[in-house]
Amino acid sequence: MKVINAQVYDSGAFVRKDVYIRDGRIVSEDPGTGETIDAEGMYMIPGLVDVHTHGAAGHDFCDADPEGLKMIAEYEKKSGITSFCPTSMTFDETRLEKIFRTAAEFEWTVDRARVVGINMEGPFIAESRKGAQNGKYISAPDIGMFRRLNDGCGGMIRLVTLAPELPGAEEFIREFPDKVSVGHSDADYDTAARAFEAGAAHVTHLFNAMPPFHHRKPGIIGAAAENENVMVEVICDGLHIHPAMIRSIFKLFGEDRVILISDSMEATGMPDGMYELGGQAVKKTGRRALLEDGTLAGSASNLYDCFRNAVSFGIPLASAVKMATENPARSIHMEKEIGVIAPGTRADLLILNQDLDIVKVISE
């Protein structure tokens, strides 16, 4: 297959060129056979990579239901998300082991997005910042527990949220520095800075479930901004963070350090009504999903909607693409496989019109 005449996203810019595909991979030379797609006047970008999504299409990853995970993956693929990390909630080890097994046993087919890892959000979080997590199962960081869970799913855990003020947190970070994401935390600036110095390089949904960015108490946000190795997740549904703050995050961290996420839950892609998140009742009204006490319970937007929101909020198109493709792939150490358009990488591609509507999803 080859796609000709597209404006192709390439290293932070758009370049008019042809893209060649053979056996599901980008290749440098025309394969000489197969379909030719003329994308004159259109954009080509990598398939989106969502490293933080709990569910969609009426299904929750924490249901530990293989068929449900397949339905989530089909919804993601149709929505332009070709790779994702299903994300757990705060449960005990036995329940998490069962949940993670569904990801380990997931089988990819051409109509599904790829499961490229697991995002373990809890139980190593602060009670005071649990948000929509179930406080009943919160625990201190446990190296042995994490190791057992990761071994049980074949090493699929890419990220684990951790509150660095908890007992044992520093030891945990030094043991798994490339996996720790600071979040659901009341950590002050000094505690967060030590966590980043110890190797943590990711922040779970910036501004949400953490202290505010205060001029005398800069907290996690201030510490993350000062450490150039730290990347930050941003829920860009227009509800969790004000559009003006999205622009401020972009200016503060730059296009290379921001990761757009959906934090979507099972109500995403579904009509208004009652749903669940981690076993807790959630009411969806429009794009808003709330627990009974009014707490935001994840989002009801997929990552492609969040990407388009970012552009509408004033983020340059090429930067928004990077934040939804390259950056999340890099954050889980998969930038040589997904999230970019380069020879050798997976041919996970989106063709978009000038209004950023998806014309075609290519992923074979």
Higher pLDDT, 18 or 294: 18
Q: Terminus-to-terminus CA distance in the chain, angstroms?
A: 11
Measured between alpha carbons, how far is 61 from 70 in angstroms, rounded to an integer? Answer: 10
Residue range 230-237: mean pLDDT, rounded: 97
Domains contained in the chain, CATH given = 1-46+341-364 (2.30.40.10), 48-338 (3.20.20.140)
261 in Cβ contact with 303 (< 8 Å): yes
What residues contact 251, with CB distance under 8 A and at least 6 apart? none
56 in Cβ contact with 302 (< 8 Å): yes
Name the band, by pLDDT with cuts 50, 70 and 90, for residue 11. confident
For residue 10, is pLDDT > 90? yes
Q: Give the model's pLDDT for residue 287.
A: 84
Measured between alpha carbons, how far is 181 from 11 in angstroms, rounded to an integer? Answer: 26
Residue pLDDT, tens place only, 295-347: 888 899 999 999 999 999 999 999 999 999 999 999 999 999 999 999 999 99
Name the band, by pLDDT with cuts 50, 70 and 90, for residue 80. very high
Q: Give the model's pLDDT for residue 293.
A: 87
**Three-state SS string across the chain, please?**
CEEEEEEEEECCEEEEEEEEEECCEEECCCCCCCCEEECCCCEEEECEEEEEECEECCEEHHHCCHHHHHHHHHHHHHCCEEEEEEEECCCCHHHHHHHHHHHHCCCCCCCCCEECCEEECCCCCCHHHCCCCCHHHCCCCCHHHHHHHHHHCCCCEEEEEECCCCCCHHHHHHHCCCCEEECCCCCCHHHHHHHHHCCCCEECCCCCCCCCCCCCCCHHHHHHHHCCCCEEEEECCCCCCCHHHHHHHHHHHCCCCEEEECCECCCCCCCCEEEEECCEEEEEECCEEEECCCCECCECCCHHHHHHHHHHCCCCHHHHHHHHCHHHHHHCCCCCCCCCCCCCCECCEEEECCCCCEEEEECC
Paired with 119 in beta bridges are: 87, 159
Measured between alpha carbons, how far is 341 from 137 in angstroms, rounded to an integer? Answer: 41
Could you identify the residue written with the tokens 């959000």?
A: 121
Q: Give the model's pLDDT for residue 208.
A: 96
Catalytic one of 63, 186, 237, 263: 263
Q: Give the model's pLDDT for residue 119.
A: 98
Could you identify the residue written with the tokens 């993670």?
A: 100
Is 263 among the residues known to form the active site?
Answer: yes
What residues contact 332, with CB distance under 8 A and at least 6 apart? 51, 85, 116, 117, 158, 159
The structure tokens listed for 344 are: 């050798």
For residue 278, is pLDDT > 90? no
Measured between alpha carbons, how far is 304 from 251 in angstroms, rounded to an integer? Answer: 22
Residue pLDDT, tens place only, 166-216: 999 999 999 999 999 999 999 999 999 999 999 999 999 999 999 999 999
Ranges 52-61, 248-257, 294-303: which has the least confidence: 294-303
The structure tokens listed for 256 are: 């290379």
Residue range 30-38: mean pLDDT, rounded: 90
Does a cis peptide bond (omega within 30 degrees of 0) precede residue 211?
Answer: no
50 in Cβ contact with 303 (< 8 Å): yes
Measured between alpha carbons, how far is 288 from 84 in angstroms, rounded to an integer? Answer: 22
The structure tokens listed for 197 are: 């110095």
